[in-house]
Structure 1
Amino acid sequence: MGADLDEKMRDALHSFIQERGVDENLFTFLQAWLYVKDHRNLMRWFKSVGTFINERKST
């Protein structure tokens, strides 16, 4: 009986996820989006560090 419950739960979860459009395409999109987000954050950090260094040189 326990194995049946686990299998039913797995199938229900799979259906729940699939109905909401979570599939390979979503993961491909998320991977690309996270790459862009990380790149933007890194560029913002470099700009902040550059600004800080330039301000220190000016004083």
Structure 2
Amino acid sequence: MAGKKLDAFHEWFIPKRRRRTGGTLYIASIAGQFFYPSDYWVTVMASGIIFFLSAWPSFVHDKR
């Protein structure tokens, strides 16, 4: 059962949505640090950066 849900999530979480989610988490972490300073926002920022950068196609990194 969990395998089907995970596969459905992978099909739904396309790179465009990953970039949008990552950017939203990153902006939310910056706003959160401004309004409510805490060490927690670093984890939100890190996950936003990871989502955002994982959405770029692999062929962009291969051109050197």
Q: TM-score range with shorter-chain normalisation?
A: 0.3 to 0.5
TM-score, length of structure 2 as denominator length:
0.41
TM-score, length of structure 1 as denominator length:
0.43
Q: Which has the larger radius of gyration?
A: 1
> Which is helix-richer, 1 or 2?
1
Higher relative contact order (CA 8 A, sep 6+): 2
